[in-house]
Amino acid sequence: MSRILIFLVEHNADIDNAITLLLRTHNVDTETCWLNKRQSSLVDLAMHQGLGKYSALGIIVSFPSMQTTWMKELDLEAIKLLRGKNRLIFPIKADTCSINAIIHRLQPIDVSEDIEAGVKQMMKEMQDGKRAKRQYEAVCGLDPLASEVGLCIALDSDNHRRYERSYTIEGLRKFFDDFSDEQYAQAVLELRQYGLMDVTRDMSWFASRHEYYTEPTYALYIHFADKLHHDPHHDILSVAEILLDWGKSIEVQALERIAKIPAGRVHRSLHYLEDYGAIVVRREFPAPFHIATVQASKRTEAIARHLAKEHKYTGLQFHYRERNCSCHTS
């Protein structure tokens, strides 16, 4: 009989009970392990439980669990320890929460809409003794490998940071253990050619040494918008609306408070608007994300209306005091 240990937090009791009952109807011995938000190490707890007796591990992925310390600190090394020689790991996505790059790489099974279908997929893979082979998806014209690298970088972002993370080959290896240095270099080169990544030095020189620093641009998040839990275009429109309504220069920190959008997403929106000449910015020094103040320009309204029309946003209002009107987009 197969045995699976499922990790969950207190808010996931209902989904766990449903999964447990379905697994037991297929003769799978199921045990649960409760975690709290302050649990520092999933690996330590798993080892304490005695992993040797389990052929599979399940991790309930949900809004509450994604906020825990142990989930945020889960990395490739921890996954290798949990996996052992051939233990299967199933992230079980219980709701519509956003996931990080590590969970994405583990191929989560979505049970948020159909628990029975998700359990059937788990049963098949447990009977096969391996997870289904990953099929890399080509996103909007990108090579499948470049798509996977780009998506993992987008999912790894900290939206509360005003500065984007920079990555080296070693930094990218925290997501991947199956790519060569040449594959990394080719993927990053393609992402740069599409304007989705910035590379600090000439890529042709680094391609032979694989020692480059790269960081995402706002275009990366727009490219993978359908895979993210937030809509970058909506962020841009929200920021543009505030600037138009404000009508004068505003400090970025004040803009962040008014927008109620994480700082990183506000700055990406500002860089988009700046590239299209839709705002006037003042920088304290020429660091890419160090914008001090910002103000709407003559093109802000036109850009905002174009985006609203193109993406068919509903329920979004633009208030213009100087015109004494509000425009609903649909």
| Residue 261 pLDDT | 92
Half-sphere exposure of 134 (CA within 13 A, CB side): 13
Q: What are phi and psi of 16, to 5 degrees?
A: -65, -40
With bands split at pLDDT 50, 70 and 90, how would you rate the model's confidence at 203?
very low
Residue 98 has a CB neighbour count (10 Å cut-off) of 14
User: Measuring CA to CA, how many Å separate 147 from each of 38, 133, 136?
Assistant: 34, 17, 8
What number is the average pLDDT over the span 79-89? 86
pTM recorded for the entire structure? 0.80
| Residue 153 pLDDT | 92
Which residues touch 158 (CB under 8 Å, ≥6 apart)? 165, 264
| Residue 287 pLDDT | 54
Residue 293, pLDDT > 70, answer: yes
Percent of the chain with pLDDT over 90: 29
Taking only the tens place, the pLDDT of each residue in 137-171 is 777 788 998 999 999 999 988 888 888 888 887 77
Pull the structure tokens for residue 180.
């060569």
In the chain, what are the domains? 2-128 (3.40.50.10140), 144-227 (1.10.10), 232-328 (1.10.10.10)
| Residue 234 pLDDT | 92
- Residue keyed to tokens 């970088």: 153
**Average confidence score pLDDT of the chain:** 81
Pull the structure tokens for residue 34.
């409760």
Whole-number Å distance between alpha carbons of 215 and 206: 15
With bands split at pLDDT 50, 70 and 90, how would you rate the model's confidence at 211?
low
